[in-house]
Amino acid sequence: MNATDHSTDITGRSASALSHSANALAHPASALDLFRLDDARALVTGASRGIGRAVAEALADAGCELALTARTLPALEDTVRAVQDRGRKAVVLDGDLAQPGVAEALIERASTALGGLDIVVHNAGTLPTAADGTPLMAPLQHARQQDWEAVVAVNLNATAALCRAAYPHLAASSRASLILMSSAAGLVGAPMMEAYAATKAAQISLTRSLAVGWARQGIRVNALCPGWVRTDMTAFASAPGPVSDWLTSHVPMGRWADVDEVVGAAVFLAAPASSMVTGHALVVDGGLSVADGGLAGHPKPPSPFAAE
C-alpha cells in the first residue's frame, strides 16, 4: 500500500490514513519526541504579534518550516527574525483577510512556497475598532451594524474561506492538523463584545463540524480557546484599572495570562502527541469558563459597564 492509494477499508478510512496510524504504532516515540514537528510545513495567520507570533516561534522550536501572514510585510520582521534564528525557514505573506479572495490566495501562496501544508494555525482575528485602531466596546443595542459586519468578515467568513482552501492541501498530508484560534469568549457570556464572542463561538461549531467531516481524510481539526491574555490587542483592557479588575475577578486563578502560556497547547494540538484528538475546544483560561469560577465564591466588583 503506497501513499497514493486512496482505497478505503470497511470502516471507510482511507488507506493512507490507516498506513499512517499503523506506522505511528509500529515506531513508538519518547514522550518528548511526540511533540516534535521536524520538517512539518505550517502556516500561521496573524503571526506579527501576540499569540500568533508566540505560536510561530514555538512551532519553529518544534521543527516546523513556516509561512507567516499579516496585513503588512513590515509587521512580520520580528517574527521572521525569531524563526530564522531558530534555523527554520520563514516565508512571509501579506494580505488583509477582510478582503474577499485573500484567504484563498494566502493558502495557495503558502503551499507553493513550502511545497505543501501539514499544519494551519488560523490565529488572525479582530475586534470592532475605531479608525485609529482603538477597540470599540459597546453593548449590541448601541453598536453599529458596520462594526458587526467587519468582525464577521474576518473572524468567520475568512475562517471558512481559509479552511475550504486548505482542505486539499491538508488531505494530501499524513500529519494534517488544522487549529482555529477561538476564545473563551465564545464559551461564556461576553457583554460589550457580542460580535467577537459570537464569531468565536461559531469557530468552535465549525471546528466540530469539520472534525467529523474530514476525519476520514486524516485531517484533525481543533479549536484553541484562550481566556484573557496580555497582548497588544487587549492592552486597553489589561492595563490596571476597573475593567481589568472586573475581568480578572471572573478568573479563578486571578490574573491575566501571558502569550507563552498558550503556545504549549498549540504545539500539542499540532503534534503527534494529540494524534487522537479532533473536534476538541482546548480551553486555556485559568478557569474563566467554569460556571461562576466553579462556585468558588470569589468576590466580584461591580461591572464598570453596568450603567451603559
Active-site positions read 196
The three cell numbers of residue 203 are 469557530
- Helices 50-62 and 260-270 pack at an angle, to 10 degrees, of 50
How would you list the strands of the sheet with 281-284, edge to edge? 90-94, 65-70, 41-45, 119-122, 177-181, 220-226, 281-284
Per DSSP, helices labelled H in 153-252 are 158-171, 194-214, 235-238, 242-248
- The CA-atom distances, in angstroms, between 178 and each of 13, 49, 220 are 19, 20, 6
Collapsing DSSP to helix, strand or coil, 151 comes out as helix
Closest CA to 64 of 25, 121, 108: 121
Closest CA to 30 of 294, 288, 301, 273: 273
